Amino acid sequence: MNSFITLFQAAIAFGTVILFGCVGEILTERAGNLNLGVPGIMYLGGIASLASVFIYEGSTDSPSKILCVIIAMVSAFIASALGGLIYAFLTISLKANQNVCGLTLTIFGGGVANFFGGSLNTLAGRFEAVSVPVTSAAFRTNIPGISNAGTIGKLFFSYGFMVYLAIAIAIIVHIFLHHTRRGLNLRTVGESPQTADAAGINVDRNKYLAICIGAGISGFGGVYYVMDYIKGTWANDGSIEKLGWLAVALVIFTTWKSSHAVWGSYLFGLLYWMYYYIPGLTRRSQELFKMLPYVVTLLVLIVNSLRSGKDKQPPKSLGLAYFREER
Amino acid sequence: MNEPLLRIVKNEAMSFKKKVLIRAVAVILALLVCGIVITLITGYNPVTVYVTMTQGAFGTKTRAWSTVKEMLMLSCIAIGLAPAFKMKFWNIGAEGQILVGGIVSAGCMIYLAKIGNAGLFILMFLLSALAGAVWAFLPALFKAKFNTNETLFTLMMNYVAIQLTSYFVAKWENPIGSNTVGVINQSGHEGWFPKICGSQYFISLIMVLVLAVFMHIYLKYTKHGYEIAVVGESENTARYAGISVTKVVIRTVLLSGAICGMAGFMAVAGASHTISTSTAGGRGFTAIIVAWLAKFDSATMILISLLLAFLESGSSEIASKCHLNDFASKIVIGIILFFILGSEFFINYKLIVGKKGEKK
Amino acid sequence: MAAITFEHISKRFGSVNANSDVSFSVNKGEILALLGENGSGKTTLMNMLSGIYYPDEGRILVDDKPVSIRGPRDAYALGIGMVHQHFKLVDVFTAAENLVVGLDPDKKLDRKAIAADIKEICDKYQFDVNPDKKVYDMSVSEKQTLEIVKVLYRGANILILDEPTAVLTPQETERLFRVLRNMKQDGKTVIIITHKLHEVLSISDRVAILRKGEYIETVDTADATEEKLTELMVGKKVDLEIERPEVKDKKLRLEIRNINCINSEGVKILKDISFDVYGGEILGIAGISGNGQKELLEAIAGLEQIEEGGSIKYHAPDAKEAVEMKGMTPRHIRELGVHLSFVPEDRLGMGLVGSMGMTENMMLKDYSKGRGVFTSKKAPRELAEKIKEELEVVTPGVTTPVRRLSGGNVQKVLVGREIAASPTVLMTAYAVRGLDINTSYTIYHLLNEQKKKGVAVIYVGEDLDVLLALCDRILVLCGGQANGILDGHTADKQEVGRRMSVIVEEKDGEGHE
């Protein structure tokens, strides 16, 4: 039972990182843009939150917890949205290829994050390892009282606030996309920009907004990873990139519905941590077992391509640039 | 009255000279921005930045060769990706294909050191190409049969390959506990590229040049190349012409994977003499952009690779001088690629300011 | 009083003048036909009215007041709504959802209330729209109805319809015209873009004519005749007669029996189709678009998977035995010695490679003829030069990507290549769609030439008048079924139209009227 609880908790934690990434990407793809820059954006979000509170915590003796969280979230959102803005400008205004621009954003974001992650202390003239204990503690604060109250408490109430934020955002995005007129307009842009244009919807503005806000949401995945998952430190081990790609893959798994992303992401988390709870694995065979989430993603991809339901397809103009006067 | 200020018009045909000019301007602008960024971080003045970068990239013979090595790796992968991308098959899986090629090469070096260098080389070359091809085969098969999204398929194959590499690193760990394979065959240099003309990279150079010429001819003058172009443009047209799309997709992606596998061989036997999860080091992604920007032209791919290799070595030099870390080069490369990608717009479209902009 | 006035409107795309110095007005409450050949700038002009394009020069007046229409939103605000030729609908949305796209973004998305609004409009004009039906389940005419309801829902007083009858049967066209007359009664202004003369004469009050982007004149329909309108439209007298040469010696070429096809979505798109094709005749195929025409030709060409059973037998001109070509790939069919040429509907997406020049496009079907592994471009280049000269293809050179050529020239390249292969069977799908009158007649002429040579020509068309004038026999498809083969000399249009929409039970097999 105990090992199930820890596995469940690990799955939720892992799932939350990719849930943010995935929901942001769903918003982006619904507007017709395939952004392969999600890993880069999550990197940007992660490093922005870390760098900003690192400076803040270093500047005062008694940092305020709430301020720490606000600074981390706001700077992460801004940095990620700026990453999205670069991508949006290139793909919408300059009509460059979406895949290539996304990949470049991933290279760039990874570069920026790992550069500052590794050099933050040198640049700040401090020599201790980068760490933001106060902020991390704030992010990891759970609801006192019920978080340890029995199995239910441990399973569902033992997490930092971002776990619940992720679920809330996923649901809000779902309601927005499927039950509001603005969401309907956005989906029209992704399905058929010509139709949207003829209906008086500003295609470019919708795309810009969806990409930048989507990037901001994805960036929270980086924040959660840095602040909660690895407890306010930095590791140049490419983990965020890996998680970012899983988030992109999860979008297909969910058939572009953020309501499915919630359980999908936790399922991925479960698969990822499974090896840890299977007895008798050596270090070597553990490495092989860690392939599981990727192999399952592959299977999902294949199964998905065999489905033919019209409502389970990607947005029709995903990946295509729109130019009104194209003849 | 309110009238739109800016209008975009499609640009039909632009002279070669003007295209080159636009790209050159983009590169210069990008270099300026990079200079400013580095200046802001390090406090060096921009001139010093570029002097230091040039020294870092070409200052000594060793450094120059090391820059060339980087260029060769990128070119080799880009050449490998070119046929797949020309066919609009988004092979994002070069990383994985390089890694499995590298694993096989390292395996040969470890287990088959005794069979003699000539045999070993041939075996490593063939087997690494085969490994890369096998890695590319699955996504190609599913793409051809079920139209499974190849972008994500190849991407996931990268991570399967990374885990496979971790497995072999754990298996071949040397010394025990180091979590690395260490330099393989340190004493006898079995399976290492020999030094020719004073450099161990000379063979790689020849290999890449041969590949570049081959790919140029293959894509431009052969029936296979023609089939690739038709499938890339429209599968319906290909079917109409009697081309078997399945066959062409699988054959082309096998070739693409094989060349990426060879890049893994080059990286292990020709450069690092070890294997780790960072053997590919993100080059598989960068090379995609190289191939795309070069529009799959061999010479242009080499040229762009050289530019990126220069930036990589140059910014590493600056980073190490300032005790900053190596990832600085990725930022610089990202910036330069953004600029070149953006510049394509000014080749394909014309901006007209105001309404009377281009009237007689 | 003028509802709309154009004053000196000009619009250019790159080096092409789509509209130059167009000035005329549309009266309130009239049905105005905007007549012109393909490429004469009708759609461009209307797109400027509906806010899709912005004019380079000149101005537009609505109710005699100058306005600036910078986007579709501005157009709606002025009461202008357009039903585009390519419907602007989202396939995965329901009718109700499509209706409100782009409207009042801050209002609640109340699907029930929208359904009620739809019902109200439908009752008023006698439409039939199911608000919960997804667009991908709708027929072409249902989609068009939805488009019209959409425009009305947005409060349009001025309706523009771009080639609304191109995809309709004669009966559906009649119904549409009744609706348009109802709207006129209701005080609305209607502009209908078309190039079909008899429709112009039957529906409009006045006709405005455009030619090569320029405004020619407006005539009262009451004073117009087909001949006069054509002359205004083309700029010279045109013989509208399509020839139908008689070929005496007709030989059986294709014997098609019991063909069934299921498309990728699992829908049965061809149902038990049987017919014969003879050398020396043009067999027309009529049907509402999407009723199996495309699949039928592709099945014969070996591009569509055919279900178990049935056969396609080919009788070569000099062979005793027929060969079976069912279930073979295009390459196999070629290797069997079947000289089958095919001009598909999607010219740049199937028949040609848009990014390649004429030379490389000539190689498309026989690129494997080169030496060893290499391609050879000598023969294709000569062929390209020959076609360019003989069919007067306007292109900077044989290496210019064919995508840059105009629609008519693209079709000349395609038809030229297919005829150059000296076919015994020539299949064409919508061969004159989007072409101007002169090019269309060039194509009819080329097809007749082939027929006289003894080639079996299959002509899938959408214009029933052309089908009836050009073809020897007409096969009507309805819902993927062969709904009778009519004699082109005697069949009448109403009958063809009826068979396009309703299955007719035949008593004596392949009966004639």
Specify the pLDDT at position C169: 84
Here the ipTM equals 0.91
Residue C511 binned pLDDT confidence (cut-offs 50, 70, 90): very low
Residue B193 has pLDDT above 50, yes or no: yes
Residue B354 binned pLDDT confidence (cut-offs 50, 70, 90): low
DSSP code string of A75-99: HHHHHHHHHHHHHHIIIIIS---HH
Counting as contact any 3 or more CB pairs under 8 A, the partners of A are: B, C
> pTM score > 0.80 for this model?
yes
| Edge-to-edge order in the sheet of strand C251-262 | C323-324, C311-314, C251-262, C268-279, C481-487, C473-478, C281-286, C456-460, C425-429, C340-343
Q: What are residue C249's phi and psi, to 5 degrees?
A: -90, 85
Least confident of A141-155, A265-279, C20-34, C187-201: A141-155
Share of chain B above pLDDT 70, in %: 96
Tell me the C-alpha distance between A143 and C302, whole Å.
67
| pLDDT tens by residue, B297-351 | 999 999 999 999 998 898 888 888 887 778 888 898 999 999 999 998 998 888 8
Specify the pLDDT at position A154: 81
Residue B318 within any structural domain of the chain? no
Residue C40 has pLDDT above 70, yes or no: yes
**Average pLDDT taken over every residue of chain B:** 90
Distance, CA of B118 to chain centre: 28
Residue B49 within any structural domain of the chain? no
Closest B-chain CA to A250: B152
Residue B158: its chain A contacts at CB < 8 A?
245
**Residue appearing with tokens 């974001």:** A109
* All structural domains of chain A with their residue ranges: 2-326
Residue B1 has pLDDT above 60, yes or no: no
Using a CB–CB cutoff of 8 Å, tell me whether A324 touches chain C.
yes
Q: What are residue B44's phi and psi, to 5 degrees?
A: -70, 155
Residue C5 has pLDDT above 90, yes or no: yes
A150: left (phi over 0), alpha (psi -120 to 50) or beta: left
Tell me the C-alpha distance between C474 and C465, whole Å.
12
Architecture of domain A2-326: Orthogonal Bundle (1.10)
Exposed, middle or buried: residue C144 (CB in 10 Å: 0-12, 13-18, 19+)? buried
Specify the pLDDT at position B357: 38
- Would strands C425-429 and C340-343 be described as parallel, antiparallel, or unpaired? parallel
- On whether both B4 and B80 belong to a single domain, the answer is no
The encoded tokens of residue B236 equal 């319906």
Specify the pLDDT at position C507: 53
Tell me the C-alpha distance between A64 and A57, whole Å.
9
DSSP code string of C217-253: EEEEGGG--HHHHHHHHHSS----PPP----S--EEE
Share of chain B above pLDDT 90, in %: 61
Number of independent structural domains in chain B: 2
| pLDDT tens by residue, C269-325 | 999 999 999 999 999 999 988 899 999 999 999 998 899 888 999 999 888 888 999
Q: Give me the residues paired with residue C273 across strands.
A: C259
Specify the pLDDT at position B359: 35
Using a CB–CB cutoff of 8 Å, tell me whether B351 touches chain A.
no
Specify the pLDDT at position C513: 38
Residue C379 has pLDDT above 70, yes or no: yes
Residue B54 within any structural domain of the chain? no
Residue B296: its chain A contacts at CB < 8 A?
none
**Residue appearing with tokens 């087909």:** C226
Residue B41 has pLDDT above 90, yes or no: no
Distance, CA of B180 to chain centre: 25
Residue to substitute from C374, C376, C399, C428, interface B, most B β-carbons within 10 A: C374
CA angle B54, B57, B62 (to 5 degrees): 135
Counting as contact any 3 or more CB pairs under 8 A, the partners of B are: A, C
Specify the pLDDT at position C298: 94
- Which candidate from C348, C352, C375 shows the least CB-CB separation from B226? C375
Q: What are residue A34's phi and psi, to 5 degrees?
A: -90, 110
Pairwise pLDDT comparison (B193 vs B231), residue with the higher score: B231
Using a CB–CB cutoff of 8 Å, tell me whether A133 touches chain B.
no
Confirm if B309 and B70 have CB atoms less than 8 A apart.
Answer: yes
- On whether both B225 and B120 belong to a single domain, the answer is yes
Exposed, middle or buried: residue C222 (CB in 10 Å: 0-12, 13-18, 19+)? exposed
How close is the nearest chain B Cα to the Cα of C366, in Å? 8
Residue B53 within any structural domain of the chain? no
- On whether both B152 and B294 belong to a single domain, the answer is yes
- On whether both B202 and B292 belong to a single domain, the answer is yes
- On whether both B271 and B301 belong to a single domain, the answer is yes
Q: B4: cis peptide before it, omega within 30°?
A: no
Specify the pLDDT at position C319: 80
Using a CB–CB cutoff of 8 Å, tell me whether B323 touches chain A.
yes
Residue A198: its chain C contacts at CB < 8 A?
50, 52, 72, 82, 84, 88
The encoded tokens of residue B294 equal 């070069």
- On whether both B188 and B140 belong to a single domain, the answer is yes
Closest C-chain CA to B1: C68
Tell me the C-alpha distance between C445 and A136, whole Å.
80
Specify the pLDDT at position C510: 47
Residue to substitute from C69, C92, C143, C146, interface A, most A β-carbons within 10 A: C92
For chain A (length 327 residues), average pLDDT per consecutive 10? 86 96 97 96 96 90 91 97 97 94 95 88 73 88 76 84 96 96 96 92 95 98 94 87 92 90 94 86 86 89 80 85 72
Specify the pLDDT at position A118: 82
Residue B56 within any structural domain of the chain? no
- Say if the Cβ atoms of A123 and B324 lie within 8 Å: yes
Tell me which residue of B128, B252, B267 sits closest to B193, measured CA to CA: B267
Domain span at residue B96 reads 61-309
Using a CB–CB cutoff of 8 Å, tell me whether B142 touches chain A.
yes
- Which candidate from A90, A284, A295 shows the least CB-CB separation from B171? A284
Residue B3 binned pLDDT confidence (cut-offs 50, 70, 90): low
Tell me the C-alpha distance between A246 and A238, whole Å.
13
Confirm if B106 and B181 have CB atoms less than 8 A apart.
Answer: yes
Closest A-chain CA to B349: A94
Residue C104: its chain A contacts at CB < 8 A?
181
- Say if the Cβ atoms of A198 and C50 lie within 8 Å: yes
- Which candidate from A96, A249, A305 shows the least CB-CB separation from B146? A305
Q: Give me the residues paired with residue C34 across strands.
A: C193, C208
- Which candidate from B146, B160, B335 shows the least CB-CB separation from A291? B160
Confirm if B244 and C329 have CB atoms less than 8 A apart.
Answer: yes
Tell me the C-alpha distance between B296 and B302, whole Å.
10
Residue C372 has pLDDT above 50, yes or no: yes
- Which candidate from B11, B227, B236 shows the least CB-CB separation from C346? B236
- Say if the Cβ atoms of B1 and C68 lie within 8 Å: yes
Residue C508 has pLDDT above 60, yes or no: no
Exposed, middle or buried: residue C256 (CB in 10 Å: 0-12, 13-18, 19+)? buried
Specify the pLDDT at position B142: 95
Confirm if C299 and C268 have CB atoms less than 8 A apart.
Answer: no
Helix (H, G, I), strand (E, B) or coil at C457: strand
Residue B132 has pLDDT above 80, yes or no: yes
- On whether both B263 and B148 belong to a single domain, the answer is yes
Residue B360 binned pLDDT confidence (cut-offs 50, 70, 90): very low
Number of CB atoms found within 10 A of residue C127's CB: 18
| pLDDT tens by residue, C44-59 | 999 999 988 889 899 9
CATH number of the domain where residue B118 is located: 1.10.3470
Using a CB–CB cutoff of 8 Å, tell me whether A281 touches chain B.
no
- Which candidate from B222, B227, B242 shows the least CB-CB separation from C330? B242
**Residue appearing with tokens 């993100």:** B282
Residue C370: its chain B contacts at CB < 8 A?
223
How close is the nearest chain C Cα to the Cα of B245, in Å? 12
